[in-house]
Structure 1
């Protein structure tokens, strides 16, 4: 063993050919391919990327411009708003029209309309005088321009939130005169955030290796820095847009260094040869030094092998084989031990997090202290966020369980790595099949919400950019001690549940939705009863009432649980009414419409999806009800009677006797037909019409309760008030007050 050096020779002769061939190939590839191919490909790739970016940005801006020109065409709603007398409904429609433009194009920061006849400005929130509008200076400047209709250079726009001025934002603006030739009626202004444009551009490139810069027509940077256009790199490409006149510059990060490296020189050849010589010499030196401890280990193993008796080792087994077997057993045992420890750690973390979220740690202070020290956490301030997978039903159908587990692991890993990059301490775990909880812990409570918001936004944007699904994240408020963690978790869970009305793939802060009233339930139930009654009576107005119902839900930003509760009542009430009025329709309702409605509530994540599914299912049901109603006896006669009652319901002498004399039908038989055809007694139907008319008067006019009572033929106002309260649940005065509050809330 002492005089045997075959091992070191084998190492040397094994390393040298590999080292020589590897270094030679790398040098050849570096100088041949990189010097000749990469420069040309880099320049061409930058040019193609710049053209693509310019085309995409121009296309988006053109689409915004085309849509804006369509809505200002003569005879449209927008021109009516500018030309005709002021009308709240028209104001609301135009505000929705502007909001719809913002919804279609996420680049748009704000849209507002200046009306020349009264110097007022309408945006998505209110109609106000020009003097109170934060961006009034730009409107006044735009009115003096001779050639509007082109995108402006970046400018600072004044912002406001909840009626207070906030930080200015850098935007590019497109303005149109209305009408186009004179602008005598007003001016339409569309603002696009420069930050949104930069973000849009960065989504089309790889920011790690590529740098994108935008310059306006004057050569100034679009990022707000007042400096002229920088000289173009040799590895960069400039594209000037024919539409906006902006310059799009795409270059490789570190381009100056690459330019220097890409120019071939004999210096690199001599440097490569010197590297080979140095590598060979280093290999001899390192191999000699590395062999000494190996030789010592082998001598010890040899002595140990000769001392051990009764071993099952084979006679021809070498020392390396013996070491290999020992190491293999050690690795196997260690891996098994680490797996077991990892499983215990996962279970322990889950239990620890559940205790924190439920606030049950107080039952065992010692256990809490042990877990706190185990996870390296310190007392301080806490905040909870709940991440929820969007469209989870489709997610479960699209991917098998293994893929689902992989995606969830990716989401949790990205969250942990992002937190580590920002130096944040978190405890995170999947607490349900589609919900992932993030607990941020900090000794410093300052800007805790901002740090959690920044972390969640990076996780959300990463998932959106790299995976085939999206997530919505709800954030609770900060907690000053461990006892308040449960409250923060409940707030985060309530916030994420509001995605059904606020939308998917976003961050929902509990502070933003806290304090926003859900509305009085009787208002929703009233609309539901109206929709069901109109469906049952085959009246086409049900579709408009259904749309109003979903509009009210969206305006109040109800949580998912509240929306489900309302729609379950809708299905129950519809089934109850059909059983009483159209029992022959129950079979088809139970077979087709009801499963479709319940499935829509289960699988739809947004209110828009729910509304579309409900409208489709109820449309089919309405057709079936109409066919059944047509087949009933005396259907035409009963419709004539119903129309007569609807026209003369204010007549105090209207009764079954009067109807029987007019239509030559026995009063008792007429009452039976009325119940079968309409589903209500004559008196209930008549009272319903009168109460509906009374509600319209209370809601839309200033007529007194006594006058309404007289109009409806009641002998005294007390009788009217008693009937109204029994039907609506509120007195006439209370109902009028609630409607005024609701109208004021919507206007605000």
Structure 2
């Protein structure tokens, strides 16, 4: 049992290690997904705060715009400039009716009043008050009547904002921020004829920031550039004060974790207000935590399952070894010692078996020449299946293959064709022996074997093929031919094949040498001949690298017809203008299949739904199929790939057009908006997007921009009180004259006529 568990443990530990490695990779992927999810949550929160900031700033800009409209109101100007002691009751009443009700559409302007210094009178939308009476109904908790008069009514204000302060409105306790503007706008003295004061309730401002507090349950704090609170929601003041005073808190960071909250900070570029939002860490990371829990559950389950599979495999794989140990024990009658495990036991017994079979080794030594001869015959016949098999067989035959490259040749003893008597065979045996001995003297590394009664095959082992090496072999053969002729009156003819780079290709070179020898005998040439010098049809196929690259580029561009033309040209070059052998045809088809597989492995197709099916179709192309069938299948594969590329291009074009539409809708009011700016935004060349927009939409981009601007101008003419000049500036025209011409060209009438017709 101890021996079994030892082998079992070794296998089990190996499987556990294999199981842990992908688990580490999975953990890294899990950490990455958590990080990405957290980053997305933070980005969404920052965007939400920035949207709230934009809305609040627009509302405050509307308040400022409203006070500027009051500054040019004729009725109010008359009241401000009256200097007699009489009271213009009608003028005051008319102002209350027409002026003080004009801002009620904006909830920021629901509570405002105008103080007239010459009348010492406060005008509201519903009534008039003396300051002391107004203070009884509406007053700040932290200001007395005199302080309020000095700070609010008797000073000159230029778009001033008083931070959040406790306020009483008809016995109702609330908090407000106060906007103050003196009238007229160019008041520079210590006091002004009139002051517009707008009280904005904290609840109104808070309603614009509820998106963060309601969604995340956090807090929002807005302060002015001096740190005074404008609005606060969801958290108490001591916490905000603590955060502001903590030196560890970086006020310049947009987002950072502080205690248990993610604090987002943005600063307005218009008024210097600081917007801060705090989101609980638990709520922010809710999605990330969900991923975490599921990942741990899946990982734990797969590890448990993997452990069970490891137990089963460890048992299955250790069982044969244990059985082999049992057989060894039965055969040799030996037991493992405590200090030796099962593997040592097996290796020890196998070593004993080898040692005890010296007789077999001696017998193999006597048969070594036969083994060498058999090895060389199998090598030139191409019977080995792999390079490793050749190397092991060469070691067994005690043959040094060196670099494994060289040339193959066949040498024939002339003059014995058709002779097969005993005397002739004996003479040929002696001649072959003399030939091999003479060749070995001139080239010790040559390997030779008999391939017939009058033929000897030779392998000249060399490094890289080169003209110098071929010249050296030619000199050896010339020397051999001269020596045999002079010493033994023996005439030989020889053929040599092309250089083979690996021993696996030695059979190819040998076949070339046989063909060269046949040609040598046919033309009755003495000496040797290289296969390339023989008149043998050995045309190679036509498939240059630039043609392959052009085919890949064409398919990637989705140009099906051009790709078909290239394929047809390749087939015409190889099978119309050349006479390829079957082997050359196979090599050409293999090269083309490799091209398509390389094309399929590129990013365009690697993640596409057609990857697996197309890869299978390419691999399934049979070398022995008719040429027309192979070409038709390549055409079909290209058609499918090009269709996918064209479809992706259309999707990309639609996305670009959408981006152009959206950017135009956002930036139409910018007078500097041009096609060049749009091209920068979508990150495409200007000429490219111009042609693309025209092709997809049927109109030029400039015409589309004019239509967007005119549509917006028509809306403003119908729904606003802006002048035509103001509307021209708001829709992106520097010149009102150009705007009028464009509007009339598009609608057929002038802007003023359009507005009048709408009113009527």
Whether TM exceeds 0.5 here: the answer is no
Q: Which one has the largest radius of gyration? A: 2
Query: Which TM-score bucket, shorter chain as reference?
Result: under 0.3
The TM-score with structure 1 as length reference comes to: 0.28
The TM-score with structure 2 as length reference comes to: 0.28
